[in-house]
A and B are shown apart, each in its own frame.
Chain A
Amino acid sequence: MTERVLLKNFDPRNPVPVSYEAYVKAGGYEGAKNALSKSPLEVQQIVKDSGLRGRGGAGFPTGLKWSFVPMDHPGPKYLVCNCDEMEPGTFKDRALIYGDPHQLIEGMLIAAYAMQMTRGFIFIRYEYKKGAEILDRAIQEAEKHGWLGKNIQGTGFDFYLETHLSAGRYICGEETALLNSLEGKRANPRSKPPFPQVRGFLGQPTIVNNVETFCNIPHILARGPEWYKKLGLNGNAGTKLMGASGRVKTPGLWELPMGTPLSVLLKDYAGGPAREFPIKAVMPGGLSTPMLTPDQFDTPMDFDSVAKAGSRLGTACVIVFDEGDCMVSAMANIIKFYARESCGFCTPCREGMQWIYDTLCAIRDGRGEPADLQVLDDVGRHLAHTFCAFAPGAQGPLVSGLAKFRHEFEEHISRGQCTAAVK
């Protein structure tokens, strides 16, 4: 049985926020105590040694990211939590903030101390307004008990934390767009470099980490990097929240060792196919991750293995399709999302996404022509030539779907109708 670390205090099926008292009783704020007794650089080193990689989807080593922050910077430095969870198919950060808000606060406190940042923001999507209220209450509790605010636990270190309720837009999840949004601007992404670690919020060094990333930190500090490294399989560090939705019998969210095979997640946790049809495709970590087919289901769910299989681990919340699903229709749904949420800054994305959507609808509705597939291939290729990762995010599912289910697209065009769809 896997050790539950991030989910040890609550049931993700029915998250009720753990109180401050219950959190402390379960060993909470022990990691912070340990961190505050060390030097900031020692704390950074512990996080580096743990092998923790960013849980927002990109998998960049967290300790390394932190080490880019100039410690001798004369002005303010900022810490930001990305809780703009809007990646379709993803529902892990919601559970963490609704179930255990102090775990996030403690993680942010330790990070702030490690980089000597005195001000932090939790950027939270509008639809999680109740989550923001839960966090606001927990922040007050933490302040009352001397874990936030001035002179934390008598150490002389100050850290002020507040929530920022967003007004909603998918692109806000991109870290530089998030910073523009936090500054009260349109959430257009910024060019990199300079990276936020050097010039971020209001031009000052800033670290943006995902909710789940922060939630790992208290445990690493309380129990040590060696213990943490051993939690995963095949040399992967830590546990990972993994979810399943779509055509599975028991959709849900679980905490599993990083590197758990996709097939185990699908069968043992998600209960296998929901209907009489076998599973035909899986997006392994949100809408922006290329599709995997059954011959790839033994892929371990970790950053490197999923990348080797031609996709990305992303958020590790899998979206499941079965043989009864029409992939042309599904692709139209997928691209509709990107067409709607494009920030409009780059032409290939703003115009291309709508063009692709219209073409997919035509094929879906039996108005497709043989040349349309060429159009999809061509316009799809241009999606790589944009400013940020949004359009390439759409390109992943589009290109993989066109390659793996080309026969469905061709059949739609030649017969003018679908033979796969049953719903």
Chain B
Amino acid sequence: MIPETLYKELSEHCSHYPSRQVGLIYVLQKLQEYYGGWLPDEAVTEAANIVGIPEPEVEGVTTFYNWFFREPVGKTIIACCDSISCYLCGAENLISHLEKRLGIRPGETTPDGRYTLLPVVCLGNCDRAPSVMIGETLYERVTVESLDKILDQLDAESNKEATR
């Protein structure tokens, strides 16, 4: 259950449009943030209530878009571009390296819940290919070495948090 303040805030956001459903994408984004990066069943019910449309309509939207998740995802999402320019510049190597390093296949989450590996379409950074988006940070001209360095650092940060 989301707190009443968030419910009210999202409901007000929808009132700002001539049709409340215009606010649905925003509502789902905020609910996903609240529920730790994914949308459990109750979030779908809550979005339907807030917007005032049937649940199946909300479900149709959540399952359509690439950045809505209906199952738990890792704390950090590693979005690896595999479209043409990055493909030409070695994206496949990066993805297979990540598969080995993390021990998961694209679309899966590490057992410790730290990382989800996702292939994504073009990140719009093709002149600096290959590109990888980790969390909300875009990394460009990525190599296996630079990728390892970034992940080593992220691992170290999480370990520090875990022991705190």
Asked if A245 and B66 sit within 8 Å, CB to CB, the answer is no
**Which residues on the B side are within 8 Å of A86 (C-beta)?**
121-122, 124
CA distance A165 to B27 in the complex (A): 11
**Contact pick for B82, options A181, A247, A333, A341, CB 8 Å:** A333
Asked if B64 and A186 sit within 8 Å, CB to CB, the answer is yes
**Which residues on the A side are within 8 Å of B24 (C-beta)?**
184-185
Chain A: which residue is nearest B51 at the CB level? A184
**Which residues on the B side are within 8 Å of A88 (C-beta)?**
83-85, 121-122, 126
Asked if A184 and B61 sit within 8 Å, CB to CB, the answer is yes
**Which residues on the A side are within 8 Å of B28 (C-beta)?**
167
**Contacts A185-B61, A245-B126 given; does A167 touch B83 at CB 8 Å:** no
7 pairs of A and B residues whose beta carbons are closest in the complex: A184-B24, A167-B65, A245-B126, A88-B83, A184-B21, A251-B127, A88-B122
CA distance A57 to B88 in the complex (A): 23
Instruction: List residues of chain B with CB under 8 Å of any chain A CB.
Output: 18-19, 21-26, 28-29, 51, 57, 60-61, 64-68, 79, 82-85, 87-90, 120-129, 133, 136, 138
**Which residues on the B side are within 8 Å of A341 (C-beta)?**
121
A85 at interface (Cβ–Cβ under 8 A)? Answer: yes
**Contacts A245-B126, A330-B87, A333-B87 given; does A165 touch B29 at CB 8 Å:** yes
A252 at interface (Cβ–Cβ under 8 A)? Answer: yes
| Dominant secondary structure of chain A at its interface with chain B | mixed
**Which residues on the A side are within 8 Å of B22 (C-beta)?**
182-184, 202
Q: Mark A151-168, 1 if CB is under 8 A from B, else 0.
A: 000000000000011111
Asked if B65 and A89 sit within 8 Å, CB to CB, the answer is no
A169 at interface (Cβ–Cβ under 8 A)? Answer: yes
Asked if B128 and A184 sit within 8 Å, CB to CB, the answer is no
**Which residues on the A side are within 8 Å of B133 (C-beta)?**
127
Asked if B87 and A89 sit within 8 Å, CB to CB, the answer is no
Instruction: List residues of chain A with CB under 8 Å of any chain B CB.
Output: 76, 85-91, 93-94, 125-130, 164-170, 181-187, 202, 243-247, 251-253, 283, 287, 317, 319, 321, 325, 330, 333-334, 336-337, 340-341, 343, 423
CA distance A130 to B135 in the complex (A): 12
Asked if A167 and B67 sit within 8 Å, CB to CB, the answer is yes
CA distance A333 to B95 in the complex (A): 14
**Contacts A168-B65, A186-B61 given; does A89 touch B83 at CB 8 Å:** yes
Chain B: which residue is nearest A170 at the CB level? B121
What is the CB-to-nearest-CB distance from A404 to chain B, in angstroms, rounded to a whole number? 16
Chain B: which residue is nearest A321 at the CB level? B88
Chain B: which residue is nearest A129 at the CB level? B136
CA distance A23 to B34 in the complex (A): 38
**Which residues on the B side are within 8 Å of A90 (C-beta)?**
122, 124, 126
**Contacts A91-B127, A167-B67, A251-B128 given; does A340 touch B121 at CB 8 Å:** yes
